[in-house]
Each structure stands twice: as C-alpha cells, then as structure tokens.
Amino acid sequence: MIAPLLAGGVALLLSLFGTGFMARRMREHRLSQPILVKDELNVAVPDHLHKSGTPTMGGLAVLFAAFVGYLVSHLRQGVVFSRQTALMWLVVAVMAAIGFWDDSLKVRSGHNRGVLWRHKGYITLGAALAGAVALVALTDIDTRLSLTRAETPGWQLGAVAWVLWAGAMVFATTNAVNVTDGLDGLAAGSALLGFVAFTAIAYLGFRNPTIYPSLVDPYDLAVFAAAFAGACVGFLWWNGAPADIFMGDVGALGLGSALALLALATNTQLLLPLLCGLNVIEIGSVALQMIVFRASGRTRRLFRLSPIHHHFEIGGWPETKVIIRFWLISGMSVAGALAIYVADFTQQAATP
C-alpha cells in the first residue's frame, strides 16, 4: 500500500502549492473565464457575477500533480508501469487537451461557452471511442459486462460492442463531471470520493487475485487512482467556496475520463452510476429539463434551472449549503457502491 500512499501524498503537495502558484500568476495576467448569465434555454442563472475575474484552467495543476505523483511512486522497487495504465493516461491527456483548447478559446473570446461548444461533444466522443479501441487492441482488458467482477454478470460483449459501450461510458462521464463543475469545489469534491473508492477497489483486487483473476495490473490502477485522489485534495484547498481558481474544462474532462477508465479497468462498469452518483443526477437533470422543455413546445420546465444545483440556488439555498449537501449525496452514493462491492467480495471469500 506504500506506492498508492506515496502517489497520493506527492500529488496532494504538488497540487496544493502548484494550484496556489497558478492562481496567483493567472490573476496577475487576468486569465479568467466570463461568468454565464443565461443557460442553454435562455434562462437567467443565479447571480455569480461576483466571481468575475476568478482564474480558470486550474485542472492543469490537478492533472500535472497526479501525473508526477504517479511517476514518483514508481521509483519504489517492484512498482512497475503497465501498458493499460499508460493508455489510460493518454486518453486523459487527450480529453484534457480538448478541454484546454476550449478553455483557451473562452478566455480569448470573452464568451462563456467558447467557440467549440457546439462541436465539443463530437470531438470528445471520437476521442473516447479511439481510446476504447486502443485498450481492446493493445491490452488484455476484459470485454465482459461487469458489476463487481468480470464474472458478474459476465456477459461477453465482444470487441466491437465493448468499444461502443466503453466509448459511451467515457463520453458520458466526462460530460457529467463537466456539468457538475458549476459551483466551487462541487466537481472536485465528488471526484475525490470516487477516486478514493477506486483506490480501495483496485487494491483489494490486487490483494485477492484468485477472486479477481481478470484484473490487469490492479496495483498500478490503485496508484493511478490514489494520485488523482491526492491531487483533488490539494486543489480543493484553493477551489473551495469562495474559489480562488476554477477547474475549467481541462480539469473536468480529464477527471471524468479518468473515473470512467477506472471503472472499465477494474471491471466495475455497472457500479459507475453509483460511484459517480452525483454526476448522474446532474447530467440527468439537464436531460430531463431539455426533454420537458421541447415536449411542451418550449413553454414549460421541470426545474427552475438546470443543472439541478442551480435549481436549489434559485430556491434560496446558499451556494455553500448546496455544495455540502451535494457532497453528502455523493458520499452516500459512493458508500452504497462500496457496500455492493464488499458484499460480493465477502461472499466470494467465504466460498470454498
């Protein structure tokens, strides 16, 4: 367990000091993202204009810290790099690059949605599918549909169907985390809980190879998840309300893709909606809002505003109350996922 702890500790310190340095330098150069005034349905959003001038793209510090923490942990004897995790880092880097491109366009154009927002979905979907193809072609990743183990339920999807399924998972999770990133610390806090859970899941798989024989290099996966968890902790020091720096799309897309890839690599695909329960609620609220709005002939809305965290803000909840309560929802959802995982592990361990 030393390598995951080392990865998380190094990433935490780098993120803590790196994010603070980045926030100061970006504020000096006035590199901030314009604040959204109306949503996609042309409805006025809660008054966040006091956040104008807050630097963005803090996700760069998070991803850099996680990567360095991951590398440093491999200086220990016996900790080896795996091809699967290297490909996961590549997918995270591509997603983060797309987010960085969009963030940069937002800053330069002075528009909150950036220039890419109409096409970003197609670009991220293409990147997600390409990453899934690489995982199937170049690694021994299991292509069965899984809940807690590859054997449960164990339905073999085959290469083509798995690529489509995995690409959809990565695409959906990156967008869900991006939607969640609308209040200070909300996305980073919920992602932190997910990464901690994946660290435990991967490490348990490493320690019990007879129960989880299909896992590919689970110890390296534990290090990968722990590095992201530590980086999120350091970032939250500066991103907590009131935020000194925003995550930006570079961070949201990077963290979202990392969470989805961990679910695929640890054979916990069907647990992901619980491990990322808050993100599911957030993206689901946007989808329901659009369905009701269009079905009613653009006259009615299900929520005061979507994503749903804005619904409660308009209802009178202070931003900090929304964040803390949503963190609690995320924590309960992650705890439920871990309970399912541990229950299955206990049953398998007790089976002769």
Q: Is residue 34 over pLDDT 80? A: no
Total-model pTM: 0.93
Return the pLDDT at 41.
Answer: 47
80 close to 74: Cβ distance less than 8 angstroms: yes
Residue 145 bridge partners (DSSP): 155
3 state SS of 351: coil
Return the pLDDT at 28.
Answer: 77
Calculate what percentage of the chain has a pLDDT beyond 90.
69
210 contacts: CB under 8 Å, gap ≥ 6: none
Work out the pLDDT band at 27, boundaries 50, 70, 90: confident
Integer Cα distance of 99 and 343 in angstroms: 38
Nearest one of 254, 263, 241 to 323, comparing CA atoms: 241
For range 326-330, the mean pLDDT? 97
Token reading at 109 = 């154009």
Calculate what percentage of the chain has a pLDDT beyond 70.
90
28 vs 287, higher pLDDT: 287
For range 235-257, the mean pLDDT? 93
Least confident among 31-45, 55-69, 156-170, 175-189: 31-45
Return the pLDDT at 112.
Answer: 59
Integer Cα distance of 85 and 129 in angstroms: 17
Residue 149 bridge partners (DSSP): 152
How far is the CA of 331 from the CAs of 168, 279, 320, 336, in angstroms? 25, 12, 16, 9
Q: From the centroid of its chain, how far is CA 48?
A: 24
Least confident among 98-107, 114-123, 144-153: 114-123
For range 325-330, the mean pLDDT? 96
230 vs 184, higher pLDDT: 230
Return the pLDDT at 305.
Answer: 85
339 contacts: CB under 8 Å, gap ≥ 6: none
Work out the pLDDT band at 127, boundaries 50, 70, 90: very high
Q: From the centroid of its chain, how far is CA 262?
A: 10
Return the pLDDT at 33.
Answer: 65
235 close to 140: Cβ distance less than 8 angstroms: no
For range 287-312, the mean pLDDT? 88
For range 204-216, the mean pLDDT? 94
200 vs 115, higher pLDDT: 200
Q: Is residue 247 over pLDDT 80? A: yes
Work out the pLDDT band at 50, boundaries 50, 70, 90: low
Nearest one of 300, 257, 288 to 171, comparing CA atoms: 257
Least confident among 22-26, 38-42, 243-247: 38-42
Integer Cα distance of 31 and 190 in angstroms: 26
For range 182-207, the mean pLDDT? 95
241 close to 185: Cβ distance less than 8 angstroms: yes
Nearest one of 342, 57, 70 to 229, comparing CA atoms: 70
Average pLDDT of the chain is: 90
Question: The tokens 């007879």 sit on which residue?
Answer: 210
Give me the amino acid identity at 343: A
Nearest one of 46, 120, 74, 62 to 220, comparing CA atoms: 74
Return the pLDDT at 301.
Answer: 87
Q: Is residue 48 over pLDDT 70? A: no
Residue 89 bridge partners (DSSP): none
Return the pLDDT at 295.
Answer: 87
55 contacts: CB under 8 Å, gap ≥ 6: 22, 23, 26, 27, 31, 32, 244, 245, 246
Nearest one of 86, 142, 131 to 265, comparing CA atoms: 142
Nearest one of 223, 210, 230 to 265, comparing CA atoms: 223
DSSP state of 32: B
How far is the CA of 43 from the CAs of 85, 309, 318, 322, 346, in angstroms? 42, 15, 19, 20, 50
